[in-house]
Chains A and B, each alone.
Chain A
Amino acid sequence: MSTWLEAHAALVFALIKVLVLVLVLLTGIAYLVWFERKVVAHIQTRWGPYRVGPHGLLQPLADFLKSLFKENVSQTPVTSRFVFLLAPFLSVTLALLAIAVIPFGPDVELWGVTMRPQIADLNIGLLFVLAITSLGVYAIALAGWSSNSKYPLLGSLRSSAQMVSYELALTFSVIGVLLHAGTLSLREIVDAQAAAWSLPRWFVFPQMIGFICFFLSAIAESNRLPFDLPEAESELVAGFHTEYTTFKFALFMIGEYAHMVTASCLLTILYFGGWHSPFPATVQFAFTEYFPALLLGALALFCLLDVFRLSRGLHRLLMLVLGIGLAGLAWLVAQPPLLAALQGLFWFLVKVGTFLFIYVWVRGTLPRFRYDQLMAFGWKFLVPLAVANVIVTSLFLAAG
């Protein structure tokens, strides 16, 4: 047994990484839903989830159990049972698959073991992500078709057209970054942004137009407001997933949020320097190494304050436990071996978190586009702009 383990250490290690990433990601997505509900609620001057756990913190758990134990209601006989079940499965699988090539940080050496926080480092990392996201349209198209109902079908037809159109703008806007970096490997793209002028040398500065194109088409690709025509509830009930109940519906939600996470990771990697700190690596800015600990400490303080502010005993107890846990974590993160090792991961997560917040913010602020506006915007504005960006960038690079 032990010899087998030694022979396949790399495989076992990779499997453990996959397991940890999926668990962390799914928990993260559950709390992303909570985060979104909270932020949108505060934008609309409501409280959002507040009853289940302190600040509604146990709401994701309750939602998870609810969707598991609900009755499976289906009104119409589906066109094809196999395809009907395949669609939500595809939605989650493809969304999780794309995250496999995302590098979350630089190589980390802890206690003599070198770890790479990435599941697969492909030479064609970016192409792989684009290929996987181009398959994502099947989940929605098949869901709408197999539901045997008119609103889902309309929603999925819209979404097929929308995703195919915006994929074009998405791919074109990435080419600018590729021209600068000269590689398709996501890790090498991040490395190409390591140096600094007086500003950090991120591709967002030379590629501002490409970034805007990519950001807008990424929102459209993940079917989020203001481009969520496939599920426009005012016209199509709930669009392509109208006929889905119980955990099948939850799978679509997980797929959508995982797509959001992937898009945020890509934005961070392609345009915002990945795991590189925005501060120059000089002695003056050495104090920025303590930011992770400070952030966790502030959160811990907030939780501990809530012990006195909340009224229900159980909630106060939970907050106390959470506060002490976070304070312990903050202390741990400030210790020498972890302090250096977690820098990359911290900055990466901060940037991804910022983009996720912007996603939610956009949803809470902007009204939905009309369908013809959406298509006109994609084809007549974004695609030409992205192509012009490619031409200007290559001329600029060829001249300089």
Chain B
Amino acid sequence: MSASYWLFFVFAGLAVLGAINLIWQRHPIHSALSLILVMGALAVLYLLLGAEFIAAVQVIVYAGAIMVLFVFVIMLLNVGEEERTQWSRVATYVGLPVALLLVVQTGYLLYRAVPVVARVDPNRFVGTTRRVGEMLFTDFLLPFEVASILILVALMGAIVLAKREP
């Protein structure tokens, strides 16, 4: 097996472990750090698929910008450790069966889809920056511009809300 095959399992495992740790930790900062780990591992998985631009953007945007904001807010509010609550009854009788059902369903679907998944060839995607840019500015120009305007509106809304006199 090639190195990228084993790297996939290493980083997929890291992502899953990070996600579990994110829920397990009681301190928000530790949870935030676990989330950063998950995002880093996902970036490597993108890289293994040949989508280098998406990998870099994943790190820059999620790990480098959004999570910095999270950590910043947690530090500013000086959030302490959370306390564990009692296991709720709703979780036992509704949540657990539904979660189990979901796992079984997903597992079955994935099992059926295995031959299809196995045929995916990473080299078929050309995730280079040039290709992504060309796609965004030709085929997907309208959705791209609409999304940009949506984000701009959201930004202005946030500024207006933050600046409002009490």
| Interface of A toward B, CB cutoff 8 Å | 80, 82-83, 86, 122-124, 127-128, 130-132, 134-135, 137-138, 141-142, 144-145, 153, 156-157, 160-161, 164, 167, 184
Contacts and interface: CB of A to CB of B under 8 A. Distances in A.
Contact of A135 (B29, B55, B59): B59
B8 interface: no
Interface string B28-45: 011001001000000000
15 contacts: A83-B29, A123-B52, A124-B53, A127-B53, A130-B56, A131-B59, A131-B64, A132-B59, A134-B68, A138-B71, A142-B29, A142-B33, A145-B29, A160-B68, A160-B75
Contacts of B63: 131, 134-135
B129 A127 contact: yes
A52 to B, nearest CB: 40
B23 interface: no
Given A82-B30, A135-B59, 16 more contacts: A80-B27, A80-B29, A80-B30, A86-B33, A122-B52, A124-B53, A127-B56, A134-B64, A135-B63, A137-B64, A137-B68, A141-B68, A141-B72, A142-B29, A160-B71, A160-B72
Interface in B60-92: 60, 63-65, 68, 71-72, 75-76
B4 interface: no
A355 B30 CA distance: 38
Contacts, number: 71
Nearest to A137: B68
A252 B55 CA distance: 27
A10 to B, nearest CB: 11
Nearest to A132: B59
Contact of B71 (A80, A123, A124, A142): A142
A123 B128 contact: yes
Q: Which of B29, B33, B64 has the most CB of A within 10 A?
A: B64
Nearest to B43: A131
B71 to A, nearest CB: 6
B129 A141 contact: no
A80 B32 CA distance: 14
Contacts of A145: 29, 71, 75
Nearest to A83: B29
Given A80-B29, A80-B30, A124 B64 contact: no
Given A127-B56, A138-B68, A164-B65, A184 B129 contact: yes
Contacts of B29: 80, 83, 142, 145
Q: Which of B36, B53, B60, B128 has the most CB of A within 10 A?
A: B60
Contacts of B55: 124
